[in-house]
Amino acid sequence: MSLGRNRGVATIGQKKMQPRHSFRSLPLHVQEELADRWGLGPGRWAIKVPTYDVASLQHDLDYSIGGNARDRYQSDRRFLSGMLAAVRGLPWYRKPGGYLFAWIFYTMVRAFGSSRFDFDGPWPLEVVLYRELGDF
């Protein structure tokens, strides 16, 4: 597996690993509500790394949808790829720290994230949204 250079999409050989559902394709009010629930809203956690917001939200959606161990691995690789792509857009003096934090976050997710992944899935998007938001 290699990290694709195009738009931060992880690849296996020449096959791109696309998420089953894109966080960006959700309606804006749903994105905002999920961001608040998943800790990336206005009352976010102490360590603020806005560069990784899109990758983090997509990763959280992938984890809520669930699946098998391969789905989790692909989700984690997309997370890393998205973070690395975001870092490439930073000024030169922020890139070393950005790359370091991206790899630390990825390592932590791989080491400790299995308890948060829904191995009972994959769930349809409508079920995930209802579970997370109730009647939206």
Contact predicate 106/49, CB 8 Å: no
Domain ranges of the chain: 2-133
What is the C-alpha end-to-end distance of the chain, expressed in Å? 38
| The amino acid at 125 | L
Asked if pLDDT for residue 79 goes beyond 80, the answer is: yes
Average pLDDT, the chain: 78
Contact predicate 3/103, CB 8 Å: no
Could you read off the pLDDT of 19-65 as tens digits, one per residue? Answer: 677 877 788 878 778 877 776 544 444 444 556 788 888 899 999 99
Asked if pLDDT for residue 14 goes beyond 50, the answer is: no
The pLDDT, as a whole number, for residue 29 is 77
96 vs 38 pLDDT, higher one: 96
Could you read off the pLDDT of 81-93 as tens digits, one per residue? Answer: 999 998 998 889 9
Alpha helices, H only, 1-136: 28-37, 53-65, 69-88, 95-112, 125-133
pTM of the complete model: 0.74
Q: Which of 127, 11, 116, 111 is nearest to 60 (CA)?
A: 116
The pLDDT, as a whole number, for residue 10 is 45
Q: Which of 44, 59, 47, 49 is nearest to 102 (CA)?
A: 49
Confidence of residue 12 (pLDDT cuts 50, 70, 90): very low
Asked if pLDDT for residue 99 goes beyond 90, the answer is: yes
